[in-house]
Chain A
Amino acid sequence: MLRYVLLGLLDAEPRYGYELKAVFEQFLGGTWPLNIGQIYTSLAHLEEEGLVRSQVVPQGSAPDRKVYEVTAKGRKALSAWTSTITDEPVRLRDELFLKVSVLSLKNGPATRELIHQQRIAILSRLRDLAELQDLPENHPATELLLEAAMLRTEADLKWLDAVEARLKDGGSDG
């Protein structure tokens, strides 16, 4: 998927490698760590497949730069990817869901305790996200990500409420 994100960024504006890395990081607010080696490897693959082409631009006394731009074939590949409907399975593989599921087998006070502690932790995450949302330098794409992260975090809290309500209804808890 990285290749399409890079294609999309180059489609917006031709870039050289380091520049592309900086723009990529700004775009996703640093939430997808990449080193420059990974960028160059991806660019080399894209070039091999004819999705991008590069041009050496002399920089005077500084070393020459290779500027990459998207080809017509690359644009087509990008549009094929962006126009495909995403329908992935819901991912609930994080630890919290598994922990609560395991604890629910016994439905003892430990479940309640976990829910309490977890609620505080999730709320603290929501606070951090709310604070990050207020930063003026956010890239518009990062703002969209933050919105998604907040909504999902709120959903986690609501899920804990639902679990708690079910435990209470179950009544076997002391």
Chain B
Amino acid sequence: MVKNYGLAVGPALEFQNVHRAYAGNGAVATAALDGVDVTIGRGELVAVCGPSGSGKSTLLHLAGALDVATCGEVLIDGWAVSGLSATERAGMRNRSIGFVFQSFNLLPGLTARENVGMPAVLAKRKPSEISGRVDELLDLVGLADRADHRPSQLSGGEQQRVAVARALILDPPIVLADEPTGNLDTASGEAVLDLLLACHDAGRTVVVVTHDARIAARTQRVIYLRDGRIAQQDKPRQRSRPLAAILDTSTG
């Protein structure tokens, strides 16, 4: 069932001439993002690609209000990030964003179930409300039988599936994933990708930073960054071609 996420009209994410500079050695600041304008519509599935150091992760962190632009404006779910306090930004993240990281970022001392529920605990949801939802999500990611395992007792793929469940615990309209399959073997990566595609099918906006062309190929749109700028964006999906039009096995 496709849910209608967010009552606000307008895009899920909007970058307006966004710059992000970090203090470098000496007086010169390094520009991680150098004037990015981009709009990501509600329910879109987008990949962000580009060489390392091109600003991909910076873009994702800004999109998730984990970081703040040096100048320009980021709008998340219609809300401007600049001028918000750290607490307000945390609130915005809880409301709107689910994050999935390359290195899973699970708390090692907690079980899978506790990790999934953690954002809801921090957001002060009622325990009775949380536990049912946690079970639902562990079931969704195929780990109902691993609920009481700690991260060290889980494979990389399983840990990332726990991380996806955790990202969904507060039912965010936007899911941001930073190289979610970067540390996984092909089969585990496929399973995680399928979960992210399912998030999109359920009506969420999904943005994936990846260097994996196969993942990019499964999204609707690819944004290429280079040197902190958008180098190009491909067009939305056209009608796909039959196999015979793209593959030739004849030996003539």
Contact = CB atoms under 8 A, between A and B. Distances in A.
Contacts of B241: 128
Contacts, number: 72
Contacts of B247: 29, 31, 129, 145-146, 149
B220 to A, nearest CB: 9
Contacts of B216: 123, 126
B231 interface: yes
Contacts of A158: 213
Of the four ranges (under 10, 10 to 19, 20 to 34, 35 or more), the interface on chain A belongs to 20 to 34
B248 interface: yes
A31 B243 contact: yes
B94 to A, nearest CB: 34
> By DSSP majority rule, is chain B's interface helix, strand, loop, or mixed?
loop
B237 interface: yes
Contacts of B237: 127
A132 B243 contact: yes
Nearest to B234: A120
Interface in A129-154: 129-132, 142, 145-146, 149-150, 153-154
Contacts of B214: 126, 130, 150, 154
A81 B247 CA distance: 24
Nearest to A129: B246
B132 interface: no
B79 to A, nearest CB: 32
B248 A31 contact: yes
Max chain A CB contacts within 10 Å: which of B217, B232, B241, B251? B217
Nearest to A1: B251
Interface residues of B, number: 25
A159 to B, nearest CB: 12
A34 to B, nearest CB: 8
Interface string B14-53: 0000000000000000000000000000000000000100
A145 B246 contact: no
B249 A32 contact: yes
A31 to B, nearest CB: 4
B222 interface: yes
A40 B167 CA distance: 60
Interface of A: 1-2, 28-33, 116, 119-120, 123-132, 142, 145-146, 149-150, 153-154, 157-158, 161, 164-165
Interface of B: 51, 213-214, 216-218, 222, 224, 231-232, 234-235, 237-238, 240-244, 246-251
15 contacts: A1-B251, A2-B251, A29-B247, A30-B242, A31-B250, A33-B244, A120-B232, A123-B222, A123-B234, A124-B234, A126-B216, A129-B217, A130-B217, A130-B218, A149-B247
